Amino acid sequence: MNNFIIKNFFKKTAVKVIFTGEDKRIKIIWTIPKNNHITVGNHAWEIIPEKTFIHAGIPTIFVNSRTAEPLDTLDLTKVVMKSNNFEKIVNQSVASDMFDSVKKHNGEQLMIIIGIGMLIAVGYVIFKFNGLEQIITDFINSQAAGGAV
């Protein structure tokens, strides 16, 4: 209820805090700063204008339970890869995984296909040379004519 009151009645002085706790859940909390500080539970942070973003006309800061100051989402010093390289890296990874899986399973799949082909060939030879073809053909023709065998 406190968030609702601050969000709707004290919008000009409110700050939206996007808080990430130890359990990795994100909570959006509306608060009114006191002496350029905000407090969420037992955590307190100083409002640093360089680390404050405007969202829908409201000052917004990102904080977590581990740091003593707001997070700067534009700070690229700790970035492992840039967003424009991400797609290239993922596509290369997917392609290499596909080639690795083909190399890994190529022999197994080939042996299965050869085995199935051999079973079909042996079945055809047995069917053809044991006279089963004539017996089955006679049976089908007699059933089509409506007679008994």
Mean pLDDT of 131-139: 77
Rg (CA), the chain: 36
Structural tokens at position 81 = 């890869």
User: Which range of residues forms the domain containing residue 13?
Assistant: 2-64
Distance CA 52, CA 72 (A): 8
Whether the pLDDT of residue 115 is over 70: the answer is yes
Q: Please give the tally of structural domains in the chain.
A: 2
Which of 94, 40, 87 has the alpha carbon at shortest distance from 68?
40
Residues 89 and 136 in one domain: yes
Indicate whether 136 belongs to any domain: yes
pLDDT of residue 116: 92
Q: pLDDT band at 89, cuts 50/70/90?
A: low
How far apart, in Å, are the Cα atoms of 102 and each of 108, 110, 112? 10, 11, 15
Query: What percent of the chain is predicted at pLDDT more than 70?
Result: 73
Residues 137 and 92 in one domain: yes
Whether the pLDDT of residue 52 is over 70: the answer is yes
Residues 58 and 97 in one domain: no
Select the more confidently predicted residue: 118 or 13: 118
